[in-house]
Amino acid sequence: MSQRLKKRELDLVIVVNMFLTGFDATTLNTLWSDKNLRAHGLIQAYSRTNRILNSVKTYGNIVSFRNLEQETNDALALFGNKDAKGIVLLKPYAEYYKEYRSRIEELVEKFPLGKAIIGEAAQKVFIKLFGSILRLKNILTAFDDFAGNEILSQRDFQDYQSLYLNLYAEFRSASEAEKESINDDVVFEIELIKQVEINVDYILMLVEKYLKKKGSGEDKEIRAAIDRAINASPSLRNKKDLIEQFVDSVSTKAKVDAEWVAFIAAKKAEELDRIIADEGLNADETKAFVDNAFRDGAIPVTGTAITKILPPVSRFNKNNCHAVKKQTVLDKLGAFFERFFGLI
Instruction: Give the torsion sign (CA, 253, 256, 262, 264).
Output: positive
Dihedral Cα 13, 18, 19, 22, nearest 10 deg: 160
- Structure confidence at residue 97 (pLDDT): 95
The domain locations on the chain are 2-79, 93-195, 197-253, 255-344
pLDDT given at position 182: 45
Spatial distance between the Cα atoms of 342 and 293, rounded to a whole number of angstroms: 12
What's the pLDDT score for residue 181? 45
The residues near 265 (Cβ < 8 Å, ≥ 6 apart) are 344
Residue type, 112: P
Q: How many residues does the chain have?
A: 344
CB neighbourhood size of 145 (10 A): 10
Quote the pTM value: 0.60
Q: How far is it, in rounded angstroms, from Cα 179 to Cα 195? A: 29
pLDDT tens string, the chain, 344 residues long: the values are 777 877 778 888 887 766 765 566 677 778 888 888 888 778 778 877 766 665 445 556 788 888 888 888 888 777 766 665 555 556 788 999 999 999 999 999 999 998 989 998 999 999 999 999 988 888 787 687 898 899 999 889 989 999 999 888 888 776 555 544 445 566 777 777 766 667 788 888 888 888 888 877 788 888 888 888 888 888 888 888 999 999 888 887 878 888 899 999 999 999 999 999 998 889 999 999 999 888 888 888 877 788 888 887 655 555 557 778 888 899 999 999 988 988 87
In DSSP terms, 31 is beta-bridged to 62
Cα separation of 127 and 110, whole Å? 12
Distance, C-alpha 40 to centroid of its chain: 11
Whether the Cβ atoms of residue 166 and residue 198 lie closer than 8 Å to each other: no
Please name the residues in contact with 179: beta carbons below 8 A apart, sequence gap of 6 or more: none
What is d(CA 157, CA 150) in angstroms, rounded to the nearest whole number?
9
Q: Which of the listed CATH numbers 1.20.58.2040, 3.30.70.360, 3.30.450.70, 3.40.1360.10 matches domain 93-195?
A: 1.20.58.2040
DSSP 99-119: HHHHHHHHHHHHS-TTS---S
Model pLDDT, residue 179: 44
